[in-house]
Structure formats: structure tokens, C-alpha cells
């Protein structure tokens, strides 16, 4: 089973990103669960979303505590909520960080076990709708690529249906 957890801030499109990835898995023939989790709905507040995908029926429910992949759309969350981002990760997990810089100092400070994969970006979230689409789409596409089982045509289909 694939267990992917998304972290971002309200308004950055992480709920959309998880839906894109979930749809792409579905088009690839997987059983899928896709669910957002957020507290007070306000722009800029931390949110998370979850995708489970398996070729068999999925009986797990709720928050993903032991992710295979953690997608982080806003590197400021590395400072704000590091323990939440790292919850349940192991040396077998991957962190996909939308970042324009190097977070090796952060990795050492927090004794991060997972490998970090960078989604090189100088894109910062703001109220610009096209920027939000770009962040959500690039995070979903990169996550699909890291999973390694989703065809590009199914990623494109999911993106076109969502946007």
C-alpha cells in the first residue's frame, strides 16, 4: 500500500494536490482513499491531506501515521511544525520539499531519518490563483513520479479534470 501525507498552508492547493494524486492512482487501477484534514478553515493555517492507494481493498481509515512519502509545499512549515511533518517517518520514508534552498541544517538539527527530495522552486504561495495551481500540480506530479507506478497520461488526466 502507498501511504502519502501532504502538508501545506490553507490556500496553497494541497487538498487539490492530494485529489490529483488520488485520481491518478485511481485511473491506474488502484483502490484509493483521499481525505483532507484541517482545523479552522483560514488561509495560511497548516493543513494536511492523505492519500492511500493499493491494488487490494483498503481497510485502514483516518490519519496516516506512518507515511511512505511526505509532501511539504511550504518550507516555512519545517520550522513551524517539524514534529508533525516527521511523525511516523522512518529511514524508508521520503520527504518531498518544495524549496528554493537547502535544508541540510534543519535535517541535522531535527535528526531527520528520511531522505529529502527537493522540488526546486522559487514559487511562493500567494493569492494568485495560477501560482496555487502551479504549486498543487507540481507537488502532485512529483509525488506521482516518486511513487513510480503511475503513467504520465494518468497524471495529466487527473490534472485536467481537477483544474
Q: Are strands 94-99 and 69-72 parallel, antiparallel or unpaired?
A: parallel
Q: At what angle do helices 14-27 and 152-162 cross, to 10 degrees?
A: 130
Which pLDDT value is given to residue 124? Answer: 55
- φ/ψ of 39, rounded to 5, equals -85, -125
- The answer for 19, left when phi > 0, alpha when psi is -120 to 50, beta otherwise, is alpha
Angle at alpha carbon of residue 107, lines to 19 and 75, rounded to 5°: 40
Cα–Cα distance list, 145 to 117, 118, 150 (Å): 12, 13, 7
What is the C-alpha separation between 141 and 144, in angstroms, rounded? 5
Task: List strand residue ranges (DSSP E) for the chain, in order.
Answer: 2-9, 31-38, 46-54, 69-72, 94-99, 115-120
pLDDT along the chain (163 residues), means of 10: 95 92 98 83 84 97 95 91 93 91 80 87 58 85 97 97 87
Which pLDDT value is given to residue 39? Answer: 62
Task: For residue 77, give every residue at least 6 positions away whose Cβ sits within 8 Å of its Cβ, in sequence order, or none.
Answer: 7, 8, 9, 46, 85
Which pLDDT value is given to residue 163? Answer: 79
Q: Hey, is 27 helix, strand or coil?
A: helix
Amino acid at each position: 500500500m502507498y501511504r502519502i501525507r501532504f502538508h501545506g498552508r490553507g490556500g496553497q492547493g494541497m487538498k487539490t494536490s492530494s485529489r490529483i494524486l488520488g485520481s491518478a492512482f485511481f485511473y491506474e487501477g488502484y483502490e484509493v482513499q483521499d481525505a483532507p484534514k484541517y482545523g479552522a478553515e483560514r488561509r495560511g493555517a497548516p493543513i494536511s491531506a492523505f492519500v492511500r492507494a493499493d491494488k487490494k481493498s483498503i481497510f485502514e481509515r483516518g490519519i496516516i501515521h506512518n507515511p511512505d512519502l511526505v509532501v511539504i509545499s511550504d518550507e516555512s512549515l519545517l520550522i513551524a511544525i517539524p514534529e508533525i511533518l516527521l511523525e511516523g517517518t522512518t529511514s524508508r520514508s521520503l520527504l518531498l520539499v518544495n524549496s528554493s534552498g537547502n535544508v541540510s541544517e534543519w535535517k541535522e538539527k531535527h535528526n531527520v531519518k528520511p531522505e529529502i527530495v527537493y522540488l526546486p522552486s522559487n514559487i511562493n504561495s500567494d493569492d494568485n490563483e495560477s501560482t496555487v495551481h502551479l504549486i498543487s500540480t507540481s507537488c502532485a506530479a512529483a509525488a506521482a513520479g516518486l511513487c513510480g507506478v503511475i503513467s504520465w497520461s494518468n497524471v495529466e488526466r487527473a490534472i485536467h479534470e481537477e483544474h
